[in-house]
Structure 1
């Protein structure tokens, strides 16, 4: 099989970019083994810290570019939390803002050549989603006690339909962390895999005459998909964050 792939000259594995590898060699990944995932998560945290340390250091009336970026991100998420979850949700703004900046930085850093997209792994997005799910669920019971269960009882519906709708609402509620995590990981993985597939055809011009037509088309496709991925990187962070605000609103105001 390897011989056939080499003779064809198009052996490529678009999913190899998502393999978790030990950072200092070896083949075994243990619970505390530094990997390429932990490296890029650390880089993400350092980039976030650098942005807000440098962006808030001067606090000039006429902001610098980096201060403008930091203020824009802060104001954007602050308004989102207030508009979606209400003013009483602003006390939870630091947590939501942290989730947003971590995801958006992870997504954009993953677009760098030879980088690793940490948000393409369900293990990472599942932890983020479960943290949101547990936080809003615990918060709902702490603030409302058993009254939080009114979230599942749609009082405006006809009485015979309420038990059926309640069952649907319960199932929908527990599916939230699954859809919340898979949406982010799936979108990030799919885009990067497609780029890798088209990139495999780019050097075809060096191998075969058909590459005169295929190579320019593949480069054009890579450029278009990369531009789309830049947009997706922000949109997926936005979607994850706004859903967090929606879930927080349900915890603070469970009554239909």
Structure 2
């Protein structure tokens, strides 16, 4: 028992646990993932309402909201053109949702719940749940983006949409092979879009948790060596956390950017 309690499981933070209802055969169980999704949506709602006051002299909050909306609008205009304005709601939604989900998962606090993790020497600890560390969440976002691409492509161009998979100047003898390669790369897009965000979030959180276990183990041991390991691990945690904050914004931007580029392919058939 002592050996089991002396280790910290870095994967426990990604575990889906039920807060109300049973997970076995019950599709309506309320989980920690659903709880944090509601928290993220609530934070986005407060952020948007607080920044939409339309004051004559904009405050900092309004400037932040207008800055983000202007940034996404510029992204759409650059990558899609004037026709892209109708896709602004989705691209902005996916950007702000991923950004807030990533940042909320980095916050140094947790919502008290019946589900917590035992940390040796500390006790029960409740920490934030990063919903973008779940492939089901990132997968749904990618599928919606990919569905928009398919619907727009076939709705606007019909079967001519398949010309997207035949680059200009391709020799006729290579058309079947090039078509299959381009089609395969196109079908892989939603998987890579979801996997990129999922891997980036889960990898950073695992690193923080592993170095955190080194801190706890170092402080629990006797001698200056343990304290040195704990101090060095704490420095690594600070560095990884700073990098993670940057990754949170970059991954939201990359997801929005690739979504706009994919929509541009369907809209303009480059």
What interval of TM-score do these two structures reach, taking the shorter chain for normalisation? over 0.9
Q: Do 2:22 and 2:29's aligned partners in 1 also have CA atoms closer than 8 Å?
A: no
Q: Which residue of 1 is the match for residue 159 of structure 2?
A: 146
Quote how far apart the aligned CAs of 1:163 are: 2.1
Quote how far apart the aligned CAs of 1:136 are: 0.9
Quote how far apart the aligned CAs of 1:217 are: 0.2
Q: Do 2:214 and 2:233's aligned partners in 1 also have CA atoms closer than 8 Å?
A: yes
Quote how far apart the aligned CAs of 1:164 are: 1.4
Is 2:57 the counterpart of 1:62? Answer: yes
1:223 to 238, 244, 252: 238
Q: Do 1:154 and 1:162's aligned partners in 2 also have CA atoms closer than 8 Å?
A: no
Q: Which residue of 2 is the match for residue 106 of structure 1?
A: 101
Q: Which residue of 1 is the match for residue 85 of structure 2?
A: 90
Quote how far apart the aligned CAs of 1:62 are: 2.4
- Structure 2: which 5+ residue stretches go unaligned? 109-126
Quote how far apart the aligned CAs of 1:154 are: 1.5
Q: Do 2:165 and 2:182's aligned partners in 1 also have CA atoms closer than 8 Å?
A: yes
User: Hey, what's the Cα distance between the residues in 1 that align with 2:41 and 2:227?
Assistant: 43
Shift in alpha-carbon separation, 1:175–1:89, aligned structure 2, 3 A: same
Is 2:179 the counterpart of 1:166? Answer: yes
Q: Which residue of 2 is the match for residue 252 of structure 1?
A: 267
1:45 to 32, 41, 54: 41
Q: Which residue of 2 is the match for residue 196 of structure 1?
A: 209
User: Hey, what's the Cα distance between the residues in 2 that align with 1:155 and 1:25?
Assistant: 56
Structure with the higher fraction of residues in helix conformation? 1
- Structure 1: which 5+ residue stretches go unaligned? none
Quote how far apart the aligned CAs of 1:26 are: 5.5
TM-score, length-normalised on structure 2? 0.89
1:208-256 CA-to-partner distances (Å, cap 9, x unmatched) read: 32212101101000000000000000000111110000110011011x4
CA RMSD for the aligned pairs? 1.4
User: Hey, what's the Cα distance between the residues in 1 that align with 2:227 and 2:151?
Assistant: 60
Quote how far apart the aligned CAs of 1:29 are: 7.1
TM-score, length-normalised on structure 1? 0.93
User: Hey, what's the Cα distance between the residues in 2 that align with 1:216 and 1:44?
Assistant: 33
